[in-house]
């Protein structure tokens, strides 16, 4: 059985919506008296949190060598399949201790979801997430970063372990001991 609910009788002020208008104006005037919180974007940048995951880039070691050894683990773990690697042969004799290097390395920033899995899985710490949040372009093709562009964005990251230097020294020592 339906229950009938009586509507309350409205006063003259409520019928003209004056309390609601006055309440809205009070909020507006309070906002007008506060200091501005808008950032002038190109000149002022927002403070990014410490754990911010930005755009993935490739980095070189302090000697200018590529850290990426084309293991393709980042490509396999990438959920949206934004990374494509074409393994190639080593062309630099200073890196003869490495089995292979990427011939081509692409990250499609339109597909990237900034999850950070590529950085976590990289055994050589060749992929680093930069604190960049405003990647933009006029064309879609410009947001597919190739190897040259990724190294340009990433730059050099000092390596405290110096694993490749130790392996290179061991290879030279083994070569001298055989002669």
Per-residue pLDDT of 164-177, as tens digits, reads: 666 667 667 777 77
> Which pLDDT does position 93 carry in this prediction?
63
pLDDT of residue 109: 94
Q: DSSP E strands: which ranges in the chain?
A: 56-58, 83-88, 101-108, 127-129, 144-145
Cβ atoms within 10 A of the Cβ of 125, count?
Answer: 14
CATH T-level fold of 56-170 = Alpha-Beta Plaits (3.30.70)
**In angstroms, what CA-CA distances link 144 with 62, 74, 108, 121, 148?**
26, 16, 4, 21, 11
Q: Would the pTM count as exceeding 0.75?
A: no
Mean residue pLDDT of the chain comes to 86
pLDDT at 95: 60
Give the Cα-Cα-Cα angle 57, 60, 66 (nearest 5 degrees): 100
Res 92 pLDDT > 70:
no
Q: Between the CA atoms of 119, 82, 60 and 164, what dihedral angle is there, to the nearest 10 degrees? A: 60
pLDDT band at 22 (very low <50, low <70, confident <90, very high): very high
pLDDT of residue 28: 93
What number is the average pLDDT over the span 134-145? 90
pLDDT digits (tens, 9 = 90+) for 64-83: 888 888 999 999 999 999 99
Pairing status of strand 127-129 against strand 101-108: unpaired
The pLDDT assigned to 1 comes to 80
The predicted pLDDT at position 146 comes to 95
Residue 3 has pLDDT above 80, yes or no: yes
Q: What does the alpha-carbon distance between residue 29 and residue 18 come to, in Å, rounded to a whole number?
A: 16
Whether 91 shows a pLDDT value over 80: the answer reads no
When pLDDT is averaged across residues 12-34 and rounded to a whole number, the result is 90
Domain ranges of the chain: 56-170
């Amino acid at each position: 059985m339906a229950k009938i609910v009586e509507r309350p009788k409205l006063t003259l002020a409520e019928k003209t919506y004056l309390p609601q208008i006055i309440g809205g104006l009070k909020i507006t005037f309070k906002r007008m008296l506060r200091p501005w919180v808008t950032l002038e974007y190109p000149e002022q940048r927002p403070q990014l949190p410490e754990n911010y995951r930005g755009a993935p880039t490739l980095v070189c070691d302090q000697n200018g060598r590529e850290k990426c050894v084309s293991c393709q683990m980042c490509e396999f773990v990438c959920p949206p399949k934004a990374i494509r690697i074409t393994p190639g042969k080593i062309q630099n004799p200073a890196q003869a201790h490495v089995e292979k290097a990427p011939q081509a390395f692409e990250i499609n920033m339109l597909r990237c979801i900034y999850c950070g899995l590529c950085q976590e899985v990289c055994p050589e710490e060749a992929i680093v997430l930069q604190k960049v949040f405003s990647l933009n372009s006029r064309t879609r093709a410009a947001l597919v970063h190739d190897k040259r562009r990724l190294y340009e964005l990433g730059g050099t990251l000092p390596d405290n372990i110096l694993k490749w230097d130790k392996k290179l020294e061991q290879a030279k020592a083994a070569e001298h001991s055989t002669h």
